[in-house]
Structure 1
Amino acid sequence: MVIEDNQHLTYGPYKLVQINNAGVNFNYGSDNQLEFAEQVITTNYFGTKNIIKAMIPLMRPNASGARIVNVSSRLGRLNGKRNRIGDLTLRHQLEDVDSLSEELIDKTVNTFLEQVKDGSWTSGKWPQTCADYSMSKLAVNAYTRLMAKMLSDRPEGQKIYINCYCPGWVKTAMTGWAGHTSPEDGADTGVWLALLPDPDQLVTGKFFSERREISF
């Protein structure tokens, strides 16, 4: 198990950046022991959500636009070929940013946890690889899109840009040192998103890997 702390970073006199890198995982490879599912969801999703809510009022207006970067994972993709939600109705609801809500995201992870507790999760069409971790990152991705929509109505000078990214299979204790990406390379896209120049390259509500946009 590895828990990485949230970091709050100020870069220069004008750029305010929040990087959410809190993460916990108890499984490796396709292992699906769900003994700690509630802790994984609480740390990875609810922890990230709560720190974003707490920090937004403190992210005072600045000329460059404040940035929020959420460290996520491809395992949380809605339309991943091998590890996606099998319930088409739910998947389409989570895809539709116009109707996406915090209530829907919370209900999704809470339903998953309820089914984990009663043993019915295997028939619930949830991701089958690192299911608890995958669900936590799916929720982070969805919440990133939701917050991007909510923050997009702010006037110029008060905007907050929020994106998420997958660092890859990084060689750290979280992967049992089995990753193939160095921590430095894993952090590269997050730093790039945090420091994108203004104004034409700024994006919000997107998912990235290796400095390229990928699908949710």
Structure 2
Amino acid sequence: MKKLAIVTGASRGLGYATSEALAQKGYKVIMGMRNPEKAQKQINTLKMKDLDVVAMKLDVSQEKSINEFAEAFRREYGYVDVLVNNAGIFIDDEDGGNSSVFKTKSSTIQKTFTTNTLGPFLLTQKIFPMMQAEGHGRIVNVSSGMGQLSDMNRGYAAYRMSKTALNVVTRVFAEEAKGEDVLVNSICPGWVKTDMGGQGADRSIDQGIKGILWAATLPKGGPTGGFFRDGERIEW
């Protein structure tokens, strides 16, 4: 049976590159995205390379969309090897960005948490049991060094808090699967040249997905419940 991966936020940036790389490794990749129709050109590019990819509608900021995606996926496939929770937003600039935390609006925090933390949590709730039933799975939560409590700086409060909380999501699911071959880890891709990271970032997309691919393809007995960058453990 062919290995199967789900990647969220897959229409561009790290999600698109991760999808392509996993497909090149022989996975069938379900590319979750808000607007599959608008991404048809990108999907066709991958299919022209003879890569096995399928676009499915998924908006991780909407619980209804998550439920519909999970149900459709379960009916169509019924099993999964890899879940990469990549979809995320960075909207602190709407409140002045790298400014005083006192300028951060509650609406910015709520919107950021809904997409960056609650979305991955709810989707993992739906996908996790399928992995347990098969006795195998890899869950990769794309986090950020900006969520490290050990190196917390000023500014971008909503994004920082959402990624710190995502690391908690990693830990609680990892503990749930303790002793099983379902490995759950947080990955910091670094500051990457994407639409979110901007062209001033110091890492390429290929460098950014290195750790994601590492965590997605860990062998049995690999680490779980950890926080990594480029396959090396970093502090929480």
TM-score, normalised to structure 1, is 0.66
Report the equivalent of 2:185: 163
Instruction: After TM superposition, give the deviation of residue 213 of structure 1 in Å.
Output: 0.3
The yes-or-no answer on 1:22 pairing with 2:87 is yes
Higher helix proportion (structure 1 or 2): 2
SS in 2 for 1:49: helix
Counterpart among 163, 168, 180 of residue 137 in structure 1? 163
Counterpart among 183, 188, 207 of residue 210 in structure 2? 188
Report the equivalent of 2:104: 34
The CA distance in 2 between the partners of 1:15 and 1:197, in whole Å, is: 16
The CA distance in 2 between the partners of 1:39 and 1:12, in whole Å, is: 32
AA matched with 2:130: L
Percent identity, aligned pairs only? 34
Report the equivalent of 1:113: none
Contact 1:4 1:24 in 2 (8 A): no
Which structure 2 residues correspond to residues 3-14 of structure 1 after superposition, within 5 A?
A: 4-5=9-10
Instruction: After TM superposition, give the deviation of residue 59 of structure 1 in Å.
Output: 2.4
| 5+ long unaligned stretches in structure 1 | 84-127
Contact 2:193 2:199 in 1 (8 A): yes
Contact 1:68 1:194 in 2 (8 A): yes
Higher relative contact order (CA closer than 8 Å, sequence separation 6+): 1
Q: Which moved more, 1:44-53 or 1:168-177?
A: 168-177
The yes-or-no answer on 1:71 pairing with 2:142 is yes
Contact 1:19 1:70 in 2 (8 A): yes
Instruction: After TM superposition, give the deviation of residue 45 of structure 1 in Å.
Output: 0.3
Instruction: After TM superposition, give the deviation of residue 16 of structure 1 in Å.
Output: 0.7
SS in 2 for 1:79: helix
Instruction: After TM superposition, give the deviation of residue 208 of structure 1 in Å.
Output: 0.3
SS in 1 for 2:149: coil
